[in-house]
Chains A and B, each alone.
Chain A
Amino acid sequence: GAGVSQSPSNKVTEKGKDVELRCDPISGHTALYWYRQSLGQGLEFLIYFQGNSAPDKSGLPSDRFSAERTGGSVSTLTIQRTQQEDSAVYLCASSLEKGRNQPQHFGDGTRLSIL
């Protein structure tokens, strides 16, 4: 079946611009996660959605970062007034249910480059 889909795969933009990154999770998966991965580094947790519960935003690095999940499916990560340090790969993952020991299934990410 279809996996997690992210778009765009690459995004180059100028410092100060806003960007929107999209994630389509696996159908039926109620949990959705956003991570950031800098070159050669591990995964940095950003935000987590589970069903209709309030999202866990504890990983968002600043108020320039926000995310929405509409209808319990598609999610959008928005970065406002981008800075060069925002350059990274942004990964989205989904799983069947949080807290039930299910593996996360990842998309291939959006590679964001801030000029």
Chain B
Amino acid sequence: GESVGLHLPTLSVQEGDNSIINCAYSNSASDYFIWYKQESGKGPQFIIDIRSNMDKRQGQRVTVLLNKTVKHLSLQIAATQPGDSAVYFCAENRNTGGFKTIFGAGTRLFVKA
């Protein structure tokens, strides 16, 4: 079936190191991708997005890479900080055959001080 999934359910990194969170999607009709961060007891918070006509987009300490050939999305966090500890979700928007947003299962990031 169609899905957005994550390769790693948990990721543990040392403070100051870079983090890479991966996501695979299965539907080539998806044309917009979003990364969300969810802290305990909070709703998901928008981090960064990318459209399918791009392969890279940078924000403050975060970079999203899109590889449409292998249907792969990644979130890179530079100089990871304890405040980055959270669950990260990728999501895809599909605008053909009816609009739909599909969320991945999530990856929990632990930052060790």
Answer whether A and B are interacting partners: yes
Is there an interface contact between B45 and A42, defined as CB atoms closer than 8 Å? Answer: no
Q: How far is the CB of B51 from chain A (nearest CB, A)?
A: 6
> How many A-B pairs with Cβ below 8 Å?
44
Which residue of B is nearest A98, CB measured? B99
**Known contacts A42-B103, A42-B106, A43-B89: A103-B43 contact under CB 8 Å:** no
A106: which B residues are within 8 A, CB to CB? Answer: 36, 43-45
Q: Closest chain B residue to A106 by CB distance?
A: B43
Give complex CA distance A2, B26 in Å.
36
Q: How far is the CA of A107 from the CA of B44 in the complex (A)?
A: 8
Q: Are B32 and A101 in contact (CB under 8 A)?
A: yes
Total chain B interface residues with beta-carbon distance under 8 A: 21
Judged by DSSP, the binding face of B is strand
Tell me the bound Cα distance from A42 to B31 in angstroms: 21
Bound complex: CA of A42 vs CA of B103, how far in Å? 7
A42 adjacent to B89 (CB under 8 Å): yes
Label chain A's interface by main secondary structure.
loop
Q: Give the Cβ gap from B6 to chain A, nearest Cβ, in Å.
A: 9
Whether the pair B46, A108 counts as a contact (CB closer than 8 A) is no
A108 and B64 alpha carbons, distance in the complex (Å): 25
Is B73 in contact with chain A by the CB < 8 A criterion?
A: no
Binding site for A on B (CB under 8 A): 31-32, 34, 36, 41-46, 49, 51, 89, 93, 95, 99, 101, 103-106
